[in-house]
A = this chain, B = another copy of it.
Amino acid sequence: MSTLSQVAKHAGVTAATVSNVLRNRGRVGEETRRRVLEAVAALNYRPHLAARALAEGRAPTLALMVSSIANPFYPEFALAVERAARESGHFVIICNTNEDPLTGRAYLEQIAGTLSEGVLVMNANLDFDDLHRTQSGGTPVVLCMWERPADPPALPCVAVDFELAGRLAGEHLIGLGHERIGAIVGSKPMGIHASRYDGFADAMRRAGLEVAAANVLHAPDTVQGGYAAALALLDRDPGISAIFATNDLPALGAIDAAADIGRAVPRDLSVVGITDIQLAQQWRPPLTTVAVPTVEAAGLAVSLLRELIAQPASLADRMRVASEPHLIVRGSTAPVNRTRAANAACPARPSPI
């Protein structure tokens, strides 16, 4: 690895000049520029990023805090983040917290401000105090997927209307004639799935329907978690004709669970999720779900972070709202099968139809 001054010597100029031609700063003579470029090529020179970062007082990377990159949702997001980050010349460091706030804190303390210029937080279950501390330490932080646009957090964020997502899911099911519906709610420690359920419950209420407390279960955000929860739900109340899950992975598990106990999806049970991860369309049957603008959110998060880096004082307009979630109907939902439902149990209330 050759250095700036080696290049300078080779070109018969000074380091500052080389720096200038490389970054198109200051005015440089045509002939000089040529010689410098020649030297750069000859010595195969590459700027030392750490040195540059130190001199500029900035850092060349962004940190992406995520609970676990192995969860199928995050890679899609991470890919979009990386793409956006490159445009501003940043690299991205992937920080798996495994849902452990202490791991998250360790990451923040180590890299914030010294290696990473900004921090993107994607459902990593971090301590809010830790995040505030890094922010007041001068390293901007943005929450990548805040679930309640109407209720902005104390940190900059990209918001997605997940309550609407829940409502759309509920309305879809209701429109199909379903009345007795079970719910599988993510059990994230931060309770971030509450608004998704609220939207769903609200749709139910407006339709004059209610969800029995016994018919809402919490489950981890995995296929297995949804599988177990669906089994439990269907066991407690076989009269359920549909299941709403606050996330795709558990919804996928619910589909499998239904199949395993002989309830065909969507004929004997409808299932709907939220997010629209890639897997959703590959499942059998493909999952009806409410799509969330993942890639857009990633882009917004990065650009917001860039702004905050550029002018840390900009306290206003700290929230970007991504476009609205929308329903994608696939093969996991169908009109309620009254015969099947009647066989299993009596309806909870008279049919509104």
Chain A residues engaging chain B, CB cutoff 8 angstroms: 1, 44, 46-51, 53-54, 59-61, 68-72, 74-76, 78-79, 82-83, 91-96, 109-115, 137-138, 223, 252, 256, 259, 278-279, 282, 284
Contact = CB atoms under 8 A, between A and B. Distances in A.
Contact of A82 (B61, B69, B92): B69
Contact of A46 (B1, B44, B93, B113): B113
A109 B75 contact: no
A22 B115 CA distance: 19
A94 B63 CA distance: 11
Contacts of A113: 1, 46, 48
Nearest to A137: B1
Contacts of A114: 1, 46-51
B110 A61 contact: no
Contacts of A94: 78, 82, 92-94
Given A69-B79, A70-B79, A70-B278, 11 more contacts: A47-B114, A49-B111, A50-B53, A51-B114, A68-B79, A69-B78, A70-B75, A74-B75, A91-B93, A256-B284, A284-B284
7 residue pairs, one from A and one from B, having the closest CB atoms: A49-B115, A49-B114, A50-B53, A48-B114, A70-B79, A50-B50, A69-B75
28 contacts: A1-B114, A46-B110, A46-B112, A46-B113, A46-B114, A47-B114, A48-B54, A49-B110, A49-B111, A50-B50, A50-B115, A51-B114, A61-B61, A61-B115, A69-B75, A70-B78, A70-B278, A71-B75, A72-B75, A78-B94, A79-B96, A82-B95, A82-B96, A83-B96, A92-B93, A92-B94, A256-B282, A259-B284
Nearest to A80: B70
A100 to B, nearest CB: 13
A248 to B, nearest CB: 12
A60 B59 CA distance: 13
A112 B282 CA distance: 38
Contacts of A51: 54, 114
A333 B199 CA distance: 43
A47 B79 CA distance: 30
Query: Counting chain B CB atoms within 10 Å of each CB, which of A49, A93, A109, A113 scores highest?
Result: A49
Contacts of A83: 96
A78 B1 CA distance: 28
Nearest to A253: B282
A115 B96 contact: no
Nearest to A83: B96
Contacts of A92: 93-94
Contacts of A95: 82, 91
Contacts of A50: 50, 53-54, 59, 114-115
A278 B249 CA distance: 13
A49 B63 CA distance: 14
A276 to B, nearest CB: 14
A149 to B, nearest CB: 27
Nearest to A59: B50
A253 to B, nearest CB: 8
A257 to B, nearest CB: 11
Given A96-B82, A284-B259, A138 B74 contact: no
A216 B336 CA distance: 44
Contact of A60 (B71, B76, B115): B115
